[in-house]
Amino acid sequence: MQVTAALPHRQNWIMSRDLRLRATFNRAAASYQDARPDYPDELYSDLLAITGVTPPAHLLEVGCGPGKATLPLARMGFRITAIELGDALAVEARHRLTGFPDVSVITSSFEGWEPPAGADFDLLYAATAWKWVDPEVKYAKAAALLAPGGHLAVWNADHAMPAGFDPFFTEIQKVYEEIGEGHDGPWPPPPPEDQPDTMAAEFEASGHFTVVGKKLYVWALRYTADEYIALLNTFSGHIAMEPAKNEHLYREIRRRLAARPDGRLTRHWSVVLTIGRRL
C-alpha cells in the first residue's frame, strides 16, 4: 500500500513544533505507565458496543506508548498490532505485554510503517496519540488498512476544568505566566461539555470516515506534589521545557501544596471517544 500526500502541507507539518515534541515522550518511557491515569472502564465497554468488535478480532493501535490502552484490550483476548515511534517506549510496551503472544509491538512511525501484504484490521485506534500523526496521511492510511465496515476510534486524555475545579490551577497559572509558559486563550478554559468538537469535524472532513459514536468521560484524581510532578514529567511541553523553568515551577508546586492540610490537589480529567466507520 502506498499513500501519497500534498507535499507543501507535509513539509509545513514536518517543520512544526508538534513533530519535534512528539519524540519527547520517549524520554518518559520508564515513568509514563504509572504516572498517567488509566482510561475509564466505560470507555472500553462503549468502544466494543459501538464498533461491534469481539475477540479475537485483529486491532491496530497507533502510538501505543508503554501499553496504557493496549493492556486492557489484550486482556480481553484481542489480537493487536501496536505501532510505537519511540524505541524506549516500545521496549517498555513489549515488557508489559510479554504474557500476550497475540500482541506485537513494532517500532516505527505510523506514517513510515509498511504493513504486511494483504493485512487489514477490524478496528484501528489511537489513545492520546492521534494528534501527533501527519494530518495529510493518517485518515487515508487508516481507511486503507481497515476491512470493509471497519472502524477508527480516537481518544485523548486532557486536563478538564469543570465547575468547581481546584483553585490550585488558577494560582499556578500565574507561575506559568511568569516563566513564559502561560495558557493560550482565556482562563479558565471552557468546561469539558462545552469544548468544541474538533475531532468529529476532522473525521467527517477527511472524506474517509463517518462518525458513528461520541462519548465524554470526566473523572477526578488526587495527587501529592511528587505524584503531580511525575505526571507533568510525562507531558511533552514539560519534558522540553528549559530546566530552570521546570525547577522554578516544581518548587512553587511543592510550596503551595505543602501549605494544604493534606498536601494534595484534585485534577480533573476528560476524554472524548470519537468513533468513525470507514466509508
Give pLDDT tens digits for 118-170.
888 999 999 999 999 998 899 999 999 999 899 999 999 999 999 999 999 99
State mean pLDDT over 200-206. Answer: 95
* Residue 232 domain-assigned (yes or no): no
Q: How many domains does the chain have?
A: 1
Distance CA 87, CA 155 (A): 23
pLDDT reported for residue 13: 45
For residues 122 and 59, the answer to whether their CB atoms sit within 8 Å is yes
Do the strands 58-62 and 121-127 form a parallel or antiparallel pair, or are they unpaired?
Answer: parallel
| CATH number of the domain residue 64 falls in | 3.40.50.150
18 pLDDT tier (thresholds 50, 70, 90): low
State what percent of residues in the chain have pLDDT above 70: 93
What phi, psi does 216 have (nearest 5°)?
-110, 135
* Residue 250 domain-assigned (yes or no): no
* Residue 253 domain-assigned (yes or no): no
Helix (H, G, I), strand (E, B) or coil at 216: strand
C-alpha dihedral (184, 189, 194, 195), degrees to nearest 10: 30
* Residue 213 domain-assigned (yes or no): yes
Helix (H, G, I), strand (E, B) or coil at 170: helix
12 versus 203: the higher-pLDDT residue is 203
For residues 272 and 155, the answer to whether their CB atoms sit within 8 Å is yes
| Angle subtended at Cα 233 by Cα 137 and Cα 228, rounded to the nearest 5 degrees | 125
Please identify which residue in the block is written with the cell numbers 481518544.
155
* Residue 31 domain-assigned (yes or no): yes
* Residue 68 domain-assigned (yes or no): yes
pTM for this entry: 0.91
What phi, psi does 197 have (nearest 5°)?
-90, 70
Q: Residue 130 sits in which domain range?
A: 7-159+191-219+268-278
* Residue 258 domain-assigned (yes or no): no
Contacts of 240 (CB under 8 A, 6+ apart): 20, 21, 24
- Which value, in Å, is the radius of gyration of the alpha carbons in the chain? 19
